[in-house]
Amino acid sequence: MEPFHYRDGQLYCEEIPAAELADRFGTPLYVYSQSSFLGTLKALQSAYAEVAPLVCYSVKANSNLGILKVMAAHGSGFDVVSAGELHRVQVAGGDPGKTVFAGVGKTDEEIKAGLEAGVLMFNVESEAELDAIARVAASIGKVAPIALRVNPDVDPKTHRYISTGKKESKFGMDIERALRVAASSVAISSIRMIGMHMHIGSQITTTEPYAGAVAKGVDLIAQLREMGHPIAWYNMGGGYGINYKGHEARPVEEFARVIAPAVKAAGCRLAIEPGRVIAGNAGILLSRVLYTKQSGDKRFLIQDAAMNDLIRPALYESYHRIWPAVLPPGVSPPPDDADVQAPECEPWDVVGPVCESGDFLARDRHLPRLDRGALIATFSAGAYGMVMASNYNTRPRAAEVLVDGTDARLVRRRETFDDLLRPEIF
Ligand code: LLP
């Protein structure tokens, strides 16, 4: 069963009506389905079974401790980009030995934290970073396991802000440079190059960009081994897209059919760093309508979630489905394909209370008429939702609830004004 589904005019998360959660925990409220998180983890583990995959869930997508704990208990590894994220993984009981440490700007302190924790490997983004890792490792008598992050120079055909695998990107190194760096690092005794890493972008909906990238990776691994580097891991990064509107993204099995054979041919174990595909459709944001108003021809639905809760529409003009969580009389569940217009709907701008014109969750969205107090759901909000939330306008951040069947667990309470003011000094 779909984790979020309509039954008798009500939106459910697993076995609990959204309306019950909103009454119990208030709004705005992030609601996550545990079975959705674990279902995708399992689907990935089995789709790539032939290359003994280590799924390193990308913590940046949704770093709630309650979620990390459940993922760790089911065998997930983790992809972290900061000492802060590594700390979360450790607090949640995750295994640093199954954790990869990425990021273009690791500080010496972060490198040391990764070494002391015993991370599986560092994804190295530049020659200067390799030198820093080697120096820090030597200074504490350790050998740092590393993977070079390589830009295969493919176009992932995604939003320019989340495209990373092109030559001109700030991430990783192009293949020629990677070869030069690898050649000059053979003799460095405080590093051990055990992997090769690629991450070409995010919300990639087709398999072609990966096909182009893996072919280049297989070649490169052969050359790295010839130099004497014991490459055992092919880390293909994340980026697997999800359905925001309908059925635009290929299922995980299709990506696996392109990636797994190449990794097998290279004689490597596979690591992947999926974030969005695990978390995105495992979460929704629930909010309540405060007011409706009309200005000229424009209709505004003002509700209690804002750009500080979910910034993706404002930042990337991202599309998130929105629909009432309790269907008004005569209104059906949302059409399966968001481009299909439901009857009796009019265009509304769904906006929040923040003082910015960019504060919208949707523009000109065809919705049924909704009154004050109506509960609405913004879908596909589990990834890059709460993690990118802020306290702009001194708004306490939303609460988060993790649903498992008929059980709902508060995994982050709503912030209080005291929480917000505590670090300030006057
Ligand atoms: N690995 C690396 C090195 C990454 O940079 C990222 C995401 C991932 C893995 C996970 O990618 P995913 O599987 O989630 O696509 N805030 C943006 C997305 C930024 C992605 C940054 N890097 C958004 O809301 O769309």
Q: pLDDT tens for residues 115-134?
A: 999 999 999 999 999 999 99
Instruction: Using most ligand atoms within 8 A of CB, pick from 120, 202, 384 the residue to mutate for ligand 1.
Output: 202
Q: Which residues pair with 379 in a beta bridge?
A: none
Q: Using a cut of 0.85, tell me whether the model's pTM lies above it.
A: yes
Assign 355 to helix, strand or coil.
coil
**In what helix (H) or strand (E) does residue 234 lie, and over which residues does it extend?**
strand 233-235
What value does the mean pLDDT take over residues 105-116? 98
The CB-based long-range contact list for 141-144 (8 Å cut-off, 24+ gap) reads 142/115, 142/190, 143/189, 143/190, 143/191, 143/192, 144/111, 144/115, 144/190, 144/191, 144/192
pLDDT tens for each residue of 277-331? 999 999 999 999 999 999 999 999 999 999 999 999 999 999 999 999 999 999 9
Q: Which residues pair with 80 in a beta bridge?
A: 101
- Give the position, in ligand 1's atom list, of the atom nearest the Cα of 238: 13
What value does the mean pLDDT take over residues 179-193? 97
The pLDDT of residue 166 is above 70: no
Nearest CA residue ID for atom 23, ligand 1: 384
- Give the position, in ligand 1's atom list, of the atom nearest the Cα of 202: 15
User: Which region holds residue 227: left if phi is over 0, alpha if psi is between -120 and 50, else beta?
Assistant: alpha
Report the pocket of ligand 1 as residue ranges, CB < 6 Å: 58, 61, 79, 102, 162, 199, 202-203, 237-240, 273-277, 312, 316, 383-384
- Tell which residue, 39, 77, 32, has the closest CA to residue 59: 77
What value does the mean pLDDT take over residues 394-406? 98
The pLDDT of residue 42 is above 90: yes
Nearest CA residue ID for atom 24, ligand 1: 384
The rounded Å distance from CA 217 to ligand 1 centre is 20
> Count H helices, E strands: the chain?
12, 21
What value does the mean pLDDT take over residues 43-67? 98
376 φ/ψ angles, rounded to the nearest 5 degrees: -120, 150
User: Which region holds residue 373: left if phi is over 0, alpha if psi is between -120 and 50, else beta?
Assistant: left
The pLDDT of residue 59 is above 80: yes
What value does the mean pLDDT take over residues 372-385? 98
Domains of the chain: 4-32+280-421 (2.40.37.10), 63-274 (3.20.20.10)
The rounded Å distance from CA 390 to ligand 1 centre is 19
Instruction: Using most ligand atoms within 8 A of CB, pick from 57, 59, 60 the residue to mutate for ligand 1.
Output: 60
The pLDDT of residue 169 is above 80: no
Are 165 and 152 spatial neighbours (Cβ–Cβ below 8 Å)? yes
pLDDT of residue 154: 87
pLDDT > 90 in the chain, percent: 94
Are 62 and 280 spatial neighbours (Cβ–Cβ below 8 Å)? no
What value does the mean pLDDT take over residues 222-250? 97
- Give the position, in ligand 1's atom list, of the atom nearest the Cα of 315: 24
Assign 410 to helix, strand or coil.
strand
CA 106 to chain centroid, in Å, comes to 20
The rounded Å distance from CA 237 to ligand 1 centre is 9
- Give the position, in ligand 1's atom list, of the atom nearest the Cα of 280: 14
The rounded Å distance from CA 203 to ligand 1 centre is 8
The pLDDT of residue 55 is above 70: yes
Q: Count Cβ atoms below 10 Å from residue 139 Cβ, excluding itself.
A: 12
What value does the mean pLDDT take over residues 392-408? 98
Rounded distance between C-alpha atoms, residue 420 and residue 352, angstroms = 20
- Give the position, in ligand 1's atom list, of the atom nearest the Cα of 61: 14
What value does the mean pLDDT take over residues 251-257? 97
Cβ within 8 Å of residue 161, ≥6 positions away: 315, 316
Instruction: Using most ligand atoms within 8 A of CB, pick from 85, 276, 386 the residue to mutate for ligand 1.
Output: 276
The rounded Å distance from CA 157 to ligand 1 centre is 14
The pLDDT of residue 366 is above 70: yes
Confidence of residue 171 (pLDDT cuts 50, 70, 90): confident
What value does the mean pLDDT take over residues 132-156? 95
The rounded Å distance from CA 199 to ligand 1 centre is 9
Assign 339 to helix, strand or coil.
coil
The pLDDT of residue 1 is above 90: no
Catalytically active residues are 355
Q: Count Cβ atoms below 10 Å from residue 194 Cβ, excluding itself.
A: 17
pLDDT of residue 163: 64
pLDDT tens for each residue of 327-349? 999 999 999 999 999 988 999 99
Q: At what angle are helices 108-117 and 127-139 packed, to 10 degrees?
A: 60
* DSSP-derived secondary structure for 52-103: --EEEEEGGG---HHHHHHHHHTT-EEEESSHHHHHHHHHTT--GGGEEE--
